[in-house]
Amino acid sequence: MRTPIAFFLVLSGILFGVGTAGVLLRKNALVIFMSVELQLNAVNLALVAFARMHGDLRGQVLAFFSMIVAAAEVVVGLAIIVAVYRRRLSVNVDDSRELRG
Amino acid sequence: MTPAASAFHYLWLIPALPLAGAAVNLFFGKRLGKLSGVLASATLGAAFLLSALLVKDLMALPGDGRLVVRHLFDWISVGNLTVAADLRLDQVSAIMILVVTGVGALIHVYAIGYMHGDPRTGRFFAYLNLFVFFMLMLVLGENLLLLYLGWEGVGLCSYLLIGFWFDRPEASVAAKKAFITTRIGDTFMLVGLALIVAKFGTLDFTAIFHATAAGGIAKGTATAIALLLFAGAIGKSAQVPLHVWLPDAMAGPTPVSALIHAATMVTAGVYLVVRMHPIFELSGVALTVVLVVGLVTAIFAGTCAFGQDDIKRVLAYSTISQLGFMFMAVGMRAYAAAMFMLVAHAFYKALMFLGAGSVMHGTHDATDMRTFGGLLKPMPITGVTFLIGAAAQAGVPPLAGFFAKDAILEIANHTGRELVYVLGTFAALLSAAYIGRLVFLTFFGEPRSQEAAHAHESPPVMWIPLAVLAAGALVAGWLNLTPEGRLAGFLEPVAGAVPGGSGLAVPVMDAIAIAITLSALIAAWYTFASGRVDWLAVRERFQPLQRVLQNGWYVDRAYQTVLVEPARAFAHITAFVVDTKIIDGLVNAIGAGVKRLASVGRRVQTGYVRTYALAIGLGVVALMFWVGVRG
């Protein structure tokens, strides 16, 4: 008996919701960053679940692509956060609002 | 071609020499130092010698063949109109180039002494040479466009030289006034040229004269062209009503006043009318206008000259008045008499201006005649030469002015223009009177100031030109002892015969003229130099009249009220109402509107990353919702 696809999707939705809430509500850049990763992984879970449902490996392959891109993004994103921290001694994103109109 | 005629190949050198001098002085004037004046004088001296040679060759040609046209190059070719750079040497231009280069060379030499010590002599002589170049182009041009080139060129140089001491406010103002006032006339003249092109299809004198002689032009057109050209002459020759610039132009260095504002440039108007006389003759109206303007100017300026205290302003008004005499002659078709007057006037008026400059030189730049007196003793050469010039202008026989003025008055009488004769004689009386006042106030009586008491004679470089010009003023009358004399005979192929007729006998008129001159001079002596009349008290008594004359009948003030002030007011409206309020207001309103709009729109940019993330998220949701609803 297979686990119904709905379980995976609900879990994926919850994870994505948590991630989105983290991005929108937290002020610490690192936490926001982690929340973004959470969103990415929620999407990965959905991808894998659908792949399994359809018996089509292309979805899983896409999940791997997504992970690798996420890894690359972490490198760049963390580097930016470190650079910002060195400059301002703060990772609070609300401190960086010079582009306010 | 005969060897003699081939000398005309070098005609182009006459204007080219001063041009070269101008170029060298303009670029290397500072390095040349004192040599710049020598160089400028040398180029003019050479040009004068060459002119004399060529005129001698011209005289050797048969009487009716004395016309040389040298083609230099094609200048402008537009559609059907071709304008060539051609030089024309005939009897009229021969006289003009001799006067321009001859008197010009003497004034250049004089200027070496006068401008000694000025830091910008190189620039001064460059302008002076450039002026002579343009003046020669004006009188040598074979077509009206070359003439116009010279015409505007001398106007430019006049502007530059009046304003040579531009650090003096009155000089720069006078320079602008001269330039703008003459431009009014020049604009009419340009319209006249356009009309000539439209009617004749050419600007060449030879072609125009042929077409005119063949009767290819209506009387009305001829009148229009003649009056437009004469408007240019009114501006350039400072005739009423455009005379206002010349007295103010005295703010320039005195050699400039002598060369440009007495001897040469201001006579360009006379030259123009003499040159274009076939067209003027087609239209009786135009000749009458010329005559009336000349007569009015002669009397008007004569009265103004009587009220001036500045020695140079007396001479300026006197120049205007004498030019009026020339135009009177032209208006009576007595072109030879006008040219004779022009030559004689060039000698004696340049002489008097240079004499006035010498007086200023000796008295630390004083110009007010009330502070002079008794200068004959400390400045004998200046004084004697000035007396000769003054006597020539006043009409003392046998000097140049007597014959010149008499010729004009005789023609007026003999052609039945009694009114012109009487008024002209009155103008002659005025000119003798004011020149007598000038001479007796300046050179006779007792010195009336420290400067006058300690005056000194000028150096030889200044008095030698004076002496040469004085000799010229003495003998110039010999050129034309009678109205039908030598000069008239020489000019006859170009200018036509002297108008004849019958009236008073010549000896009677001579007697009248001499009597008038002498009585005016004696009256001037009695009033200003005999010591028996307290002229300052007389002046006090007639102060209202004196004021009017001194201010030139308030013509300047009238122009100020009628033209300048309304123009200023209008400019004020356009500048500070139309421009700042309406045009700038519109531009500013657009800018302000955009700014206000932006101040609302920019609130979207909070600077908080999460706001943008939320917007992106909501955007995605909305997009998906839209896709889902549509699909």
| Distance in angstroms (rounded) separating the CA atoms of residues B545 and B540 | 10
Q: Is A99 within 8 Å of B617 when comparing Cβ atoms?
A: no
Of A94, A97, A101, the CB nearest to B603: A101
Identify the residue with better confidence: A94 or B255. B255
The SS3 call for residue B243 is: coil
Q: Tell me the shortest Cα–Cα distance from A55 to chain B, in angstroms.
A: 26
Answer whether B605 sits within 8 Å of A100, measured CB to CB.
Answer: yes
- The amino acid that residue B549 corresponds to is L
Nearest chain B residue to A29 by CA: give it.
B609
- Burial classification of residue B70, based on how many CB atoms lie within 10 Å of its CB (0-12 exposed, 13-18 middle, 19 or more buried): middle
Residues in chain B within 8 Å Cβ distance of A93: 608-610
- CB neighbours of B152 closer than 8 A, spacing ≥ 6? B134, B186
Contact A23 B608 (CB under 8 A): no
Segments of chain B scoring below 70 in pLDDT:
1-5, 481-485, 631
B328-354: per-residue pLDDT in tens? Answer: 999 999 898 899 999 999 999 999 999
Q: Is the peptide bond before B3 cis (omega within 30 degrees of 0)?
A: no
**pLDDT the model gives residue B485:** 66
Confidence (pLDDT) at B540: 83
Asked if B609 reaches chain A (Cβ–Cβ under 8 Å), the answer is yes
- Inter-chain residue contact B614 with A24, CB threshold 8 Å: yes
Query: Whose structure tokens read 């007569």?
Result: B295
pLDDT at B1: 43
- For A97, the closest chain B residue by CA position comes to B607
Chain A contact for B599, CB < 8 A?
Answer: no
Q: Does B610 touch chain A (CB under 8 A)?
A: yes
Under 8 Å between Cβ of B294 and B330:
yes
- Whether residue B291 contacts residue B327, with contact meaning beta carbons closer than 8 Å, is answered with yes
Contacts of B616 in chain A (CB under 8 A): none
> Is the CB of residue B600 less than 8 Å away from at least one CB of chain A?
no
CB pairs under 8 A between A and B: 31
pLDDT for the residue numbered B3? 46
C-alpha–C-alpha distance, residues B166 and B179, integer Å: 14
Q: A25, B606: Cβ pair inside 8 Å?
A: no
Question: What's the confidence (pLDDT) of residue B320?
Answer: 95
Q: Are B293 and B330 in contact (CB under 8 A)?
A: no
Dihedral pair phi/psi, residue B308, rounded to 5°: -85, 150
The residue among A28, A31, A84, A100 with the most chain B CBs within 10 A of its CB, best to mutate, is: A100
A94 touches chain B (CB under 8 A): yes
Orientation of helix B506-528 relative to helix B400-414, angle to 10°: 130
- Local structure of residue B164 (DSSP, 8 states): T
Indicate which of B606, B610, B624 best probes the interface with A, i.e. most A CBs within 10 Å of its own CB.
B610
Q: What are phi and psi of B216, to 5 degrees?
A: -85, 25
- Chain B residues lying within 8 Å of A100, measured CB to CB: 605-607
Closest partner residue to A97 (CB to CB) among B601, B602, B607 is B607
CA B434 to chain centre: 22
Distance between CA atoms of residues B233 and B595, nearest Å: 59
Per-residue DSSP letters for B527-541?
A: HHTSSSS-HHHHHHH
CA-nearest residue to A94 within chain B is B608
> Are B607 and A99 inside 8 Å of each other by CB?
yes
Instruction: Identify the pLDDT of residue B483.
Output: 60
DSSP letter for A92, please: B
Mean pLDDT score across all residues of chain A: 91
E-strand spans in B125-214?
Answer: none
